[in-house]
Amino acid sequence: MARVHHKNGRGGGGGGGGGKGKGKGKWKMPASVARKQQAAMANVDQVTGDKIPKSFVFSRGKLPTTLRHLQQDLRKVMLPYTALNLKEKKRNNLKDFVNVSGPLGVTHFFILTNPKSSPHLRMAKTPQGPTYTFQIKEYALAADIANSQKRPRCPPEIFKNSPLTVLSGFGGLGEPFKSLVEYFRHMTPAIDPVTVKLSTCQRILLIHFDREKEMINFRHYSIKLQPVGVTRKIRKLMQNNQVPDLRDLNDVSDYVTKAGYGSESEVDDEAATVSLASDVDKLNRASRKSAIRLQEIGPRMKLHLVKVEAGLCSGDVLYPQPVGKEGLGKKGKEVEEETEGQEDEDLMESDDDPEDESEE
């Protein structure tokens, strides 16, 4: 079986511990019941009471090194409710993962495959499906993106909370995309605006649908808040917790009044400023304006929806329509045949389908 190292949710351990403590005095809970309850607690958000979606990111078949890195990056995206160190073996089949996912409360599978050396990503819901198969047209690893940036910012704390999901460009689309939106929305824990702490919102997952090219852009950013109207020097002073270098200055006031270089270039546009509901950190206090800055942390993916299946990597093909409406027998056959490795020609054909559907 797959060896699983699962990170429990925030309240999981604590909630279970409390229950046990109570049971010790009067009535001892049977171990199996306690375990089940604890498992159930771990799968439920302690504040909102919603079921927490958990995920497995794994691969089928042999992957080249870059794709294996991509897999690890995807796991980091899905943190904290994913198995970061999930080990899979060659003999593990999908059934093994499904069997493990039940007791652990894993709801989502991300399966990387590399058939005919064209990378594919399958997103599936366990145990019933559906399964969305994407072809990864382009991708960049988190490391590539960090290399491309002058000052990459990726503190490990941001992975302690799950990312926010922002979907855009999916409005008013036909069936395969409607269910896909539902899937994406339930991929990460829902946020209750009443109870959420702003300091836990540190990452954002952008899934943007490009209608012209029929591509789904997958981006992962870190959220940084900066107080508006505070000079860079003051900000740095607050952030660094260090005595600033005042050697060149005649007076302390010079430090504050002297214009720093570059601070003027970061003119905040009004659109990106928010007034915070609660204190986020030392700098970003409640009821003060803060600017939102996003910095990409990767990975970056360009996905093309190839297939939708009703079951978990099996079952009826919902998209593209298995029997071609065009009435061309040969064409229909080709569409049916495309299981994993799709030829470009097939892709072109399947590109036409969603348009037809949306028009109808």
**What residues make contact with another protein under the rule CB under 8 A?**
40, 44-49, 64-67, 117-119, 136-141, 144-145, 147-149, 164-172, 181, 185, 190-196, 198, 201, 204, 206, 208, 217, 219, 221, 223, 271-278, 292, 294, 296, 300
Q: Which is nearer to another protein, 1 or 47 (CB)?
A: 47
Q: Which residue has the tokens 């279970």?
A: 16
User: Which of 250-282 are b and which e, b meaning 16 or more Cβ less than 10 Å from the residue's Cβ?
Assistant: eeeeebeeeeeeeeeeeeeeeeebeebeeebee
Q: Please report how close the Cβ of residue 53 comes to another protein at its closest, in angstroms.
A: 12
- Distances in Å between the Cα of 16 and the Cα atoms of 39, 53, 269, 322, 354 are 8, 19, 47, 48, 48
Beta carbon nearer to another protein, 47 or 238: 47
What is the residue whose two structure tokens read 């660094």? 240
Residue 290's nearest CA partner among 237, 236, 230, 200 is 230
Query: Which of 239, 156, 161, 148 shows the shortest CA–CA distance to 203?
Result: 161
- Least gap, CB of 352 to another protein (angstroms): 23
**Closest CB to another protein among 72 and 149?**
149
Measured between alpha carbons, how far is 82 from 182 in angstroms, rounded to an integer? 20
Minimum separation from the CB atom of position 265 to another protein (A): 15
Minimum CB distance to another protein smaller for 145 or for 308: 145
Return the number of the residue (4 or 104) whose C-beta is nearest another protein.
104
Nearer to another protein, 3 or 153 (CB): 153
Whole-angstrom distance, CA of residue 111 vs CA of residue 94 = 10
Q: How far is the CB of 253 from another protein (least distance, A)?
A: 34
Measured from the CB atom, the residue of 31 and 271 that comes closer to another protein is 271
The distance of closest approach from Cβ of residue 266 to another protein in the complex, given in angstroms and rounded to an integer, is 14
DSSP 197-252: -GGG--EEEEEEEETTTTEEEEEEEEEEEEETT--HHHHHHHHH-S----TT-SSH
Shortest distance, CB of residue 117 to another protein, whole angstroms? 4
User: What are the angstrom distances between the C-alpha of 313 and each of 98, 111, 181, 276, 280?
Assistant: 11, 10, 19, 44, 42
Beta carbon of residue 62, minimum distance to another protein (angstroms, whole number): 10
